[in-house]
Amino acid sequence: MVEIRKTAPASAGASELFQLLRDGQPRTRSELADLMGVARSTIALRLDALMGLGLVAPVEDAVSTGGRPSSRFAMSTGAQVVLGVDIGASHLRVGLTDLGGGCLADALRDLPVSNGPEAVLDTVAELAAELLEQAGRSTRDLLAVGVGVPGPVEHSTGRPINPPIMPGWHGFDVPGYLGEKLGAPVLVDNDVNVMSVGEREAAWPDVENLIFVKVATGIGAGIICNGELLRGADGVAGDIGHIRVPRGEDKLCRCGNYGCLEALASGVAVAAKLREAGLDARDGRDVVALVNSGDQQAVHAVRQAGRDVGEVLSACLSMMNPAVIVIGGSMALTGEHFIAGVREVVYSRTMPLATQHLRIVQSASGLDAGMLGASMLAIHHALSVESVDRMLAAGAGV
Ligand SMILES: [Zn+2]
């Protein structure tokens, strides 16, 4: 590791200039000087520092002729890359993207998370090396890595905390282990938070307040509040699966309590209900197949699960007042049936002012939400004021 020294005077302020250019809009030195309130010569020095890192480049000017150098500059998304890693219960999806979130190469592996952190993260490192090679890049170009895992994560350390379906992962130093292998900072968050970031990026970039609900084997929500992911004091904001629903009084949840939303409305819970009725359903995937084949008992059960989720979301709506609720996870694949149940309860239980502009929709980004969201976490980290300052100080990429 290069020792971090104070930013050299010549590049001081370059990081702030870069934040201005992150919107992608090309600007001249004069425009930048006016915006930042400094001399053009100062802007020139800062642009040189940022171009040295590959973060900013001159823009091809359609009107410039005679081989004159372009006079406008913008953020350059292609020089460096990040890695987005979506670790699911039974699969692993890894994508290499540029700094604009554009996917350069990706890979999918069947690998149970229960194989433990070393086995899974070693595979991530192998896939990362393959993808970098495919895209003609090296680990030197890798600025950061984002990882989504199917369990709770302590945000300050990136360590999973008592994750129920991830044996061997409790307290494991994911950023330390993977960071050493890949030579880049590693950000870790739970899969639902990561998916909510990906869904917003893919489908709702202009929406500032959004709740993404994943209904699969478990139930959880990612909350985007005023454009930022809301994690709460301990990183568990949005853990709605264990909120009590009156209808479920006698249902024992895997957490040990009775009446949790998850014990009533998850894919596994609906499958259990259908088994009681004599149908062959082991998990959420079977439920989806039954619904799609037109089985009326399955349709009815899924709609009721939607209503149960709607009960809890009605309370969340009064607290958060989102503009969009996105339903993702395997149960969203039942099409309109699940969402119809959610809508039925939400619109009848919530004050009209909170629902007049509300949209309740199915996830648009599907399988890509996790990988894209993990990439976005990495990009936000890599391009933050602090990170760019560090790169400038270390002279990285020069
Ligand atoms: Zn519970």
238 CA distance to ligand 1 middle (Å): 14
**pLDDT computed for residue 277 by the predictor:** 93
Distance 244 CA to ligand 1 centre (A): 8
- 195 Cα to the center of ligand 1, angstroms: 22
pLDDT at 109 over 50: yes
What domains are defined for the chain? 14-76 (1.10.10.10), 81-191+371-393 (3.30.420.40), 195-366 (3.30.420.40)
Q: What is the mean pLDDT of the chain?
A: 89
> Residue 11 C-alpha to ligand 1 middle, in angstroms?
52
For residue 164, how far is its CA from the centre of ligand 1 (angstroms)? Answer: 12
288: CA distance to ligand 1 center in Å? 23
Looking at the predicted structure, is the pLDDT value of residue 349 above 70? yes
Higher pLDDT, 271 or 64: 271
With bands split at pLDDT 50, 70 and 90, how would you rate the model's confidence at 62?
low
Q: Please tell me which residue, 132 or 89, carries the higher pLDDT value.
A: 132
The helix (run of H) or strand (run of E) holding residue 309 is helix 296-320
pTM for the predicted model, two decimal places: 0.85
Side chain identity at 201, as an amino acid letter? E
Q: Give CA–CA dist 166/112, Å, rounded.
A: 9
Tokens of 61: 């000017």
Q: Dihedral, CA atoms, 349, 351, 355, 360, nearest 10 degrees?
A: -20
Tell me the CA–centroid distance for residue 333 and ligand 1, in Å: 23
pLDDT band at 68 (very low <50, low <70, confident <90, very high): low
Residue-wise pLDDT tens digits, 300-335: 999 999 999 999 999 999 889 999 999 998 888 888
**CA atoms of 30 and 40, how far apart (whole Å):** 6
pLDDT of residue 154 exceeding 60, the answer is: yes
CA of 155 to the centre of ligand 1 (A): 22
Residue 294: Cβ-neighbour burial (10 angstroms; 0-12, 13-18, 19+) = exposed
Q: How confident is the model at residue 397 (pLDDT cuts 50, 70, 90)?
A: very low
CA distances from 47 to 20, 51, 163, 392 (A): 12, 6, 45, 12
Q: How many Cβ atoms are within 10 Å of 243's Cβ, its own excluded? A: 16
Looking up tokens 């958060």 gives 320
Rounded CA separation 77/102 (Å): 9
pLDDT tens digits for range 185-196: 999 999 999 999
Task: Give residue 97's pLDDT band: very low, low, confident or very high (50, 70, 90).
Answer: very high
Q: 303: CA distance to ligand 1 center in Å?
A: 21
Pairing of strands 210-215, 324-328: parallel
- For the segment 164-184, what is each residue's pLDDT rounded down to a tens digit? 889 999 999 999 999 999 999
pLDDT tens string 365-388 = 766 789 999 999 999 999 998 999
For residue 253, report the distance from its CA to the centre of ligand 1, in Å.
5
Element housing 319 (H / E): helix 296-320
Distance 262 CA to ligand 1 centre (A): 6
**pLDDT over 60 at 64, yes or no:** no
